[in-house]
A and B are shown apart, each in its own frame.
Chain A
């Protein structure tokens, strides 16, 4: 398994994209998008994180074992969030006896 050397041009392109997305998220926050402000902010953040993981952290060029570790981490994080959300988001769906 030989090492993949990423060219500095790729790093600079990713850097520019991260800066543009940062400006984008600040701008988007000043516009009233109704219920969509938070989803847009999170979408931009996830995009930026993906750029960092894939290029700066070399996961795009790494082995499947490394990709599996990253994917496993994301899966466990989503499990944590889903488990708690299943409680908090559904509390008002049905009436609570005694209230």
Chain B
């Protein structure tokens, strides 16, 4: 952005301390890093994609049990958490924006706000999980299908729903538990003045990761919480 590039895209700041020797220029280095991050995110899409596929198949096979199971989830908490996560995506986007402008304090503040919102999400998720444990809706020997107004043979498909619920939301939450310390580390680097308008790629890539986690929840929320709510 601030560097003067010649006709071949070479930078005037070729000796920028953040430019490693095997890259021609800072933009080329950033492009490679961004591409690499996206390739990683594509593997994540396939990782979650398998779970979404398993969910789709079992939902079609055992629709009634899935509707009854879904209705036990707390719609209000799910919707609030969706809003919290969207807010955290906005604060993360603002953090990346601030770092691109070289605003150190604003970058740190937006990143810390993102961490706070992410923590609120995990707190609400913990409250929801506790409710499922309290009502014996964790798959296993003591699973109480009666809680879902299901009996007999429909207990097993209801357990499949809750197994998928815990696997999918658990994997999603794990990504957030990993993401929060990464954001804190990036915020610490920003605080130390490690980034500049020319070089703030780590902030950008952390942003990509966090937005990806938001996208997963954008699909999890309607699929898990909003089945058969109109009955």
- Give the B-binding residues of A (Cβ under 8 A): 1-3, 5-6, 8, 11-12, 14-15, 18-19, 22, 25-26, 29-33, 37-38, 41-42, 44-45, 48-49, 52-53, 55-58, 62-63, 65-66, 69-70, 72-74, 76-77, 80-81, 84, 88
Contacts and interface: CB of A to CB of B under 8 A. Distances in A.
A81 B55 CA distance: 12
Contact of A77 (B34, B46, B87, B215): B46
Given A3-B1, A11-B90, A57-B208, A76 B46 contact: yes
B97 A44 contact: no
Nearest to B49: A77
Which secondary structure dominates where chain A touches chain B? helix
A52 B75 CA distance: 23
B41 A5 contact: no
Contacts, number: 128
B12 to A, nearest CB: 13
A63 B42 CA distance: 17
Contact of A8 (B27, B34, B97, B208): B97
A20 B138 CA distance: 33
Contacts of A49: 215, 218-219
Interface in B18-35: 27, 30-31, 34-35
B1 A73 contact: no
B86 interface: yes
A44 B83 contact: no
Contacts of A72: 42
Identify the interface centre among B39, B45, B208, B218: most chain A CB within 10 Å of its CB: B218
Q: Nearest 3 A-B pairs (CB), nearest first?
A: A73-B42, A29-B226, A41-B222
Contacts of B93: 6, 11, 55-56
